[in-house]
């Protein structure tokens, strides 16, 4: 198994979150991009402001590395129009994957139509531009019933509005990795949450993001049926080591 083709190497910290200047944080992001090129990972997942830089680096290296970026990150509370504007800019800058944060708070508050509307419109934009679309549902903010219901909602919108050959281009993704939990509870992918997502998002694919820090954990996720794994410790995992990074 080539585990590197499951790994989305991820660096999403802002300068303030990393305790760095903007210039220093850009240098860290560039190091992640270069490492992903050198290690032949599936994808580099970065903030929108780094997409055009990554595109230039990848072209210059004649690499097959794909670029992913986040939209309405990390809260997901913006309007669908704002999500679309962010996504259009990311497409213009050269992104291959668009990872939208679902408005999970609206979903929890019962505004199901709002969530259906954003899933439909943003997915349509991505697919019309031949991009992979992922919907981050933030499992740490949801109870089990909500994980099941939101995974199924996204699936149902996609299968009701798009051709079957496009299903493989839409994912349900577990986490931003930035959600603040109480009592140090996991804020990323857990085995129970991933199983619920797999069972209720199918035939859409699932990405496990956040909390996968070892090779064995990554293999377990893949055996469950996960097709992509987001981690800021991609090289450590690929080398069979434990990642010390918190995402």
Structural domain range at position 146: 3-238
Q: Determine, yes or no, domain membership for 15.
A: yes
Residue 237: phi and psi, rounded to 5, are -65, -45
Spatial CA neighbour of 108 closest among 140, 85, 70, 61: 140
Q: What pTM was computed for the model? A: 0.95
Residue 213 lies in a domain: yes
Q: How many CA atoms lie within 13 A of 143 on its CB side?
A: 2
Are residues 228 and 42 in contact, defined by beta-carbon separation less than 8 angstroms? yes
CB 51 within 8 A of CB 93: yes
Cis peptide before 203 (omega within 30 of 0): yes
CATH number reported for the structural domain that contains residue 125 in this entry: 3.20.20.70
Going by pLDDT thresholds of 50, 70 and 90, the confidence category of residue 187 is confident
- In a domain? residue 112: yes
In the predicted model, what is the mean pLDDT of residues 57-63? 98
Asked whether 207 and 230 are in contact (CB, 8 A), the reply is yes
What mean pLDDT is predicted for residues 73-102? 98
Q: Is the residue at 100 inside a domain?
A: yes
Q: Give the pLDDT confidence of 126-162 residue by residue, as tens digits.
A: 999 999 999 999 999 999 999 999 999 999 999 999 9
Examine the pLDDT at 241 and tell me if it is beyond 90: no
Residue 106 lies in a domain: yes
Residue 246 within a domain: no
Is there a domain that residue 67 lies in?
Answer: yes
Domain membership flag for residue 99:
yes
Residue 245 vs residue 208, higher pLDDT: 208
Average pLDDT over residues 47-64: 98
| 209/176 Cα distance (integer angstroms) | 7
Instruction: Give how many domains the chain has, as a whole number.
Output: 1
């Amino acid at each position: 198994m080539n585990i590197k083709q499951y790994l989305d190497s991820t660096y999403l910290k802002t300068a303030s979150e990393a305790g760095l200047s903007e210039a220093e944080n850009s240098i860290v992001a560039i190091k992640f991009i270069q490492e992903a090129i050198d290690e032949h990972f599936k994808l580099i997942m970065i903030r929108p402001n780094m997409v055009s830089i990554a595109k230039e680096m990848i072209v210059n290296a004649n690499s097959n590395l794909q670029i992913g970026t986040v939209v309405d990150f990390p809260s997901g509370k913006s309007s669908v129009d704002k999500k679309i504007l962010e996504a259009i800019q990311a497409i213009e800058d050269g992104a291959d994957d668009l990872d939208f944060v679902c408005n999970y708070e609206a979903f929890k508050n019962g505004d199901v139509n709002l969530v259906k509307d954003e899933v439909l419109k943003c997915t349509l934009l991505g697919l019309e531009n031949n991009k992979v679309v992922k919907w981050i549902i933030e499992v740490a903010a949801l109870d089990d019933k909500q994980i099941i219901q939101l995974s199924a909602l996204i699936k149902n919108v996609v299968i009701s509005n798009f051709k079957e050959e496009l299903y493989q281009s839409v994912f349900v993704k577990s986490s931003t990795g930035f959600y603040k939990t109480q009592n140090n509870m996991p804020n990323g992918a857990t085995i129970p949450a991933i199983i619920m997502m797999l069972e209720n998002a199918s035939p859409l694919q699932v990405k496990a993001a956040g909390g996968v820090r070892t090779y064995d954990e990554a293999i377990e996720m893949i055996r469950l049926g996960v097709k992509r794994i987001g981690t800021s410790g991609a090289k450590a995992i690929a080398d069979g080591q434990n990642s010390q990074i918190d995402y």
